[in-house]
Structure 1
Amino acid sequence: MSLQDKYKEVTNLAYELGITNLQVREQDNVLYIDGTAKSAADKDKLWKTYEKIDPEFRSADVVMNIEVTQGSSTEYTVVNGDSLSKIGKAHGVSWQAIFEANKDIIKNPDLIQPGWKLKIPTA
C-alpha cells in the first residue's frame, strides 16, 4: 500500500477544507503534505485525522507543513498557573493552535512562563 493510499483520508480532508496551494508528494518513503489552511481549526482537523491513522505518531512517514492564513489574533500575557490547554479553553481554540502560532517563543508546550505575550488565533 502506498503512503498516498494509507493517508487518503487526510488528503481528502485537505481538499474538502479547501487547503490552498496543496501539494502532496511521496519521496524516500515519506509523504509530504504542504499547503495553507484558512484557520488553525482546519489545521487541527488534519492533525486529528492523521492521529486516527497513526495514534502515537510513530510511523514517521508523514511530514505535514500546513501554514495558517494570517488571520486575526489576540495577544495574551501568561500568568502563574496558566497552561496552553487552560488558555486555549478560555479563548475557544486548541492548545495546539496556540503552540503553532507561538513556535518562535514556545519550545516545549508543557513549559510556558508568566509574562510571555502569546498570540491567540481566532477560532
Structure 2
Amino acid sequence: MSIVSFLKEAGEKLFGGKDAQAATPAAPTAADVAGLNTKAGQAIQKYVADQGLSAKNLEITYDGATSAVTVRGEAPDQATREKIVLCCGNVQSVAQVHDEMTVAKAAEPAGTFRTVKSGDTLSKIAKEAYGDANAYMKIFEANKPMLKHPDKIYPGQVLRIPPS
C-alpha cells in the first residue's frame, strides 16, 4: 500500500455543485455525511470509468473528513494502476490517495509522480526527467486519457512520469 499526496484545491470538479449544496442540511447527521461520502466515491469511480480505465473488482471510497480516497482492485498492468490513482487524486477536494491496488502483470517498472508547478511545461518536465525536452510526448502519452492536449496542464496537477 502507498499513500500519494495531491493538492486538495486543484483538479477536476466532480462534486460540490449546486445540487450537492442544496442537498446538504445545516447540521448534517452521520447518515448525511456517509451518504455524501458515498456519492463522492461514486463520482470519482465514474470519472475513472469515463477515462476508459478499469480494474478487476475496482472499489473507490472517499472520506470527506480527511479528504482521502482509498482505491482497491486489481489493475491489468502497472501503467493502468498509476493512471487510476492519478484520476482519483486529481480531483478537487482530494488531498491523498491510499493505493491498495494490486497488479495482475507486475513485470513493468513503476513510474514516478510529479506535481506540476507554476511555469512548468511538459517539455520542461521531460528535460528534468529524461535530459531531453523533446521526450514530452512520452509523458503526455503516459497521462492519457486524463490529458487531452500537451499544453493543457495546470499547477497542482499530478502527472505520471514513466521510466526512461
Q: What TM bracket, shorter-length normalisation?
A: 0.3 to 0.5
Structure with max Cα Rg: 2
TM-score normalised over the length of structure 1? 0.42
